[in-house]
Amino acid sequence: MVFKISCITLLFFSLSCQSSKYSGPTSPAEALNGFVLDENFKIELFAAEPLVQDPVEMVIDERGNIYVVEMPDYPYQPEGPEGKGRIKILLDRDNDGQIDDAVIFADGIKDATSVQPWKGGVLVTAAPYIYFMKDTNGDYVADEKEVVFSGFFQENQEAQITNLRFNIDNWVYAANHGRSADVLFSGDSTQTPFKMQGADFRFRLDKGLYEPETAAAQFGQALNNWGHRFFTQNTLHIQQAVIPWRYVNRHTHLPSKKAVKNISDHDLKMYQITEAPYWRIERSRRRQEKYDEQDLGRIEYVDNHFTGASGGTHYGGDLFPAEFQGNIFTGEVMGNLVHRDVLTLPSDEVTYVARRGEKEQQSEFLVSNDQWFRPAHFTVGPDGALYVVDMYRQHIETPLSIPEDLKEDMDFMRGSDQGRIYRIVPKNSEVKLDLNTLQSAQSTENYVQWLTHPNQWYRLHGQRLLLERQDQKVIPEVKDIFESNEDERARLHALYVLEGMNELTPDIIKRALTDVHPRVREHGLMLAESCTSCFEDIVVSTADPDLRVVFQSALSLGSIESEKSIPALAAILNRHVQNEWMRIAILSSEIGSSVPFLRHLATIDFFKKEDASRTGWLEDFSYVTGNSGKNDRITSVLSVIQGLSKPFIVSGCRGLSRGLKASEIEINDNILNTMDSLEEIDEKDVVEKIELLFNYFSSASPDL
């Protein structure tokens, strides 16, 4: 008898130890009490289970429909063509500002992650597809469903097509984490797969256009008031897409396709108040032992460092105090917190800087003591509130990255019947989400006025709806907004409404190029690329006091395939050669990497100064030349650099050698060795070696 009791006691103790490894759920009311939020704000429950379960995104359309994407299959991929994914429409039946009902708009979707309003329905990412779904009879249930795009990567739920965002330039952008894809567009009758790799995605359904975009956003894509793009990746919580794909891939010979920058000035550090889960503590301990055994000098952080950053979202609302407007809010699902970044773009910089708020140097905008709090995404509503989408799970990590023995005590589906959405507003705010007002504002005239609203939600929806409706009667009023509205944001939206309605003229573009605000001028340059009479105006922009405008002028001049661009591009390079982004912008174009461009630089004394920026630029330029494998270009470059000082000759030949090696073109090893060894050769012997190289490439066969 004693033996049996001992066994039962031991069994109970064992089960208790296992269950105590991981905390249980809290009620929505308890969760609210566990938040520590910036003192200027209050947090309210907007919706909770059973009305929402496993939410990963929420979007409010122009009619006040609140779409919530649910992902109950995570972290497992269901077999077969269907899953348990849902899109719901949340309803506020009594218009008190809180959700009291929900209707399933679409069900049985595999890996649905994101929606974007479009033509009375929504575009939906659900790898390998982007669908269009629409309710045509007013019952909140989709009865129209069609595939718009197909062929996207679908093997990993944490790296799929997602985060659809309509941008100010009339394109819809999607995060793709750089995954390879053979994309098919339903509007293309040829059905030729469009191969994509190392890129995100963007498209315009109004014009049937689609193309790669600078990567790689994972889950979180923020577009600010000026259309600049920022994205989230697990450990790098905020990166900027500095150069769009269409520029940095104009030719295939750049030494680096670098187009993204981690703009955080505080890197991985974060401040959670929850303890790390048992599995993470144990896994980190094991990893650290291996690092120490191998003497790698590497640290495996257990907590307080970004590892699960998600859902970076730009606050473009008008309800928050001024110092919070334009901030980017990012969830950290492993740290159970919301991080805030304050963005600045100095006039003498090309890239932004993301810094902590003044009072958040060692704290976060919002933290929770609940380990189940998983802030996966955010949305800014028409009321200006920030909505926090909480997937609410016991475990959020993919099982693929956890040792098998540690998974024995883990239920990855626990919490799949739960989920919360919170609403953050200033403490003194009595503003509520009034959906009835939206439902009564469905007119083209109202949409024109939305372009001038201080809340980005209205401006973007108004622009999109005018683009969809193509009502020519509004053009005079839109032109008036562009020409005379005091808000530069309104002017910019009006400019792109005119673009989307095919009403741009050279006069309108030139007016944008001389706008008092640099961000409008920046977009004017993009639009001027297709304006044949705007060339001289673009050249004038190369001397703009705002460096970002100068940067765009370099990109735009490079899109105009004319040697007339050479003097202006050379002047930019000469003034800003220390800026790596300016060097890439110029080198990315055919004209900016051409031999005539190099010759022109020699005539303006670009090579008189032997600093690292100039020799480094020449090395990269020569790399492009060598990588092209064209004999005439190589010999022409050699003829120019042989008249320069030795540091430039060394850099030029080193770049040629690197480019040739990377091209995998067969070439004499002695020639490559000569190029690589010029630094060790006496200066008087360098001329002889250059002549040898020149003769070799002059006499070599066309394919080297």
DSSP string, 150-206: E----S-GGGSSEEEEE-TTS-EEEE-TT--EEEEETT-TT---EEE-S-EEEEETT
Q: What are the residues whose beta carbons fall under 8 Å from the beta carbon of 293, sequence distance 6 or more?
A: none
Is 480 part of any domain? no
534 and 680 inside one domain:
no
For residue 565, give the CATH number of its domain.
Answer: 1.25.10
pLDDT for the residue 515: 98
Please, are residues 313 and 296 in contact by the beta-carbon 8 Å criterion? no
Is 6 part of any domain? no
Please, are residues 102 and 138 in contact by the beta-carbon 8 Å criterion? no
Query: Cβ–Cβ contacts within 10 Å for residue 634, how many?
Result: 25
Is 46 part of any domain? yes
78 and 165 inside one domain:
yes
CA–CA separation, 393 and 26 (whole Å): 11
538 and 395 inside one domain:
no
108 and 37 inside one domain:
yes
pLDDT for the residue 189: 78
656 and 553 inside one domain:
no
- In which residue are the tokens 């790596």 written? 580
Compute the Cα dihedral for 606, 607, 609, 610 and give only its sign. positive
Residue where one domain finishes, among candidates 398, 426, 454: 426
392 and 536 inside one domain:
no
Low-confidence ranges of the chain (pLDDT < 50): 1-18, 701-704
199 and 278 inside one domain:
yes
CA–CA separation, 133 and 112 (whole Å): 12
Classify 269 in phi/psi space as left (phi over 0), alpha (psi -120 to 50) or beta: beta
Compute the Cα dihedral for 189, 190, 191, 196 and give only its sign. negative
CA–CA separation, 286 and 406 (whole Å): 12
Chain-centre distance of CA 422, in angstroms?
24
CA–CA separation, 698 and 165 (whole Å): 52
Residue where one domain finishes, among candidates 593, 613, 645: 593
Number of helices (H) and strands (E), helices first, in the chain?
Answer: 22, 28
pLDDT for the residue 18: 46
What distances in angstroms separate CA 702 from CA 59, 345, 593, 690, one per listed residue? 57, 47, 20, 20
For residue 174, give the CATH number of its domain.
Answer: 2.120.10.30
Is 471 part of any domain? no
Is 473 part of any domain? no
Three-state secondary structure string covering 534-565: HHHHHHHHCCCCCHHHHHHHHHHHHCCCCHHH
- How many domains is the chain built from? 3
Q: Encoding tokens for residue 262? A: 């981690």
- Size of the chain in residues: 704
Peptide bond preceding 216: is omega within 30 degrees of 0, i.e. cis?
Answer: yes
589 and 600 inside one domain:
no
599 and 582 inside one domain:
no
pLDDT for the residue 19: 52
CA–CA separation, 482 and 512 (whole Å): 9
H helix intervals, 331-378: none
Instruction: Output the CA torsion 398→403→408→413 (10° steps).
Output: 0
Q: What are the residues whose beta carbons fall under 8 Å from the beta carbon of 403, sequence distance 6 or more?
A: 283, 286
586 and 604 inside one domain:
no
574 and 615 inside one domain:
no
The strand ranges marked E within 319-436 are 328-332, 337-344, 353-355, 366-368, 375-380, 386-390, 420-426
179 and 276 inside one domain:
yes
Range of the domain at 174: 26-426
Please, are residues 621 and 655 in contact by the beta-carbon 8 Å criterion? yes
Please, are residues 649 and 690 in contact by the beta-carbon 8 Å criterion? yes
Instruction: Output the CA torsion 411→412→416→419 (10° steps).
Output: 110
Please, are residues 635 and 694 in contact by the beta-carbon 8 Å criterion? yes
Q: Encoding tokens for residue 65? A: 């429909």
Please, are residues 108 and 84 in contact by the beta-carbon 8 Å criterion? yes
pLDDT for the residue 81: 81
Is 483 part of any domain? no
pLDDT for the residue 559: 94
What distances in angstroms separate CA 597 from CA 263, 571, 609, 617, 626, one per listed residue? 32, 11, 18, 13, 16
Is 200 part of any domain? yes
Q: What are the residues whose beta carbons fall under 8 Å from the beta carbon of 11, sequence distance 6 or more?
A: none
CA–CA separation, 359 and 356 (whole Å): 8
CA–CA separation, 334 and 303 (whole Å): 8
pLDDT for the residue 307: 92
Integer Rg of the chain from CA: 28
Residue where one domain finishes, among candidates 377, 406, 426: 426
Nearest 5°: phi and psi at 370? -100, 115
Is 337 part of any domain? yes
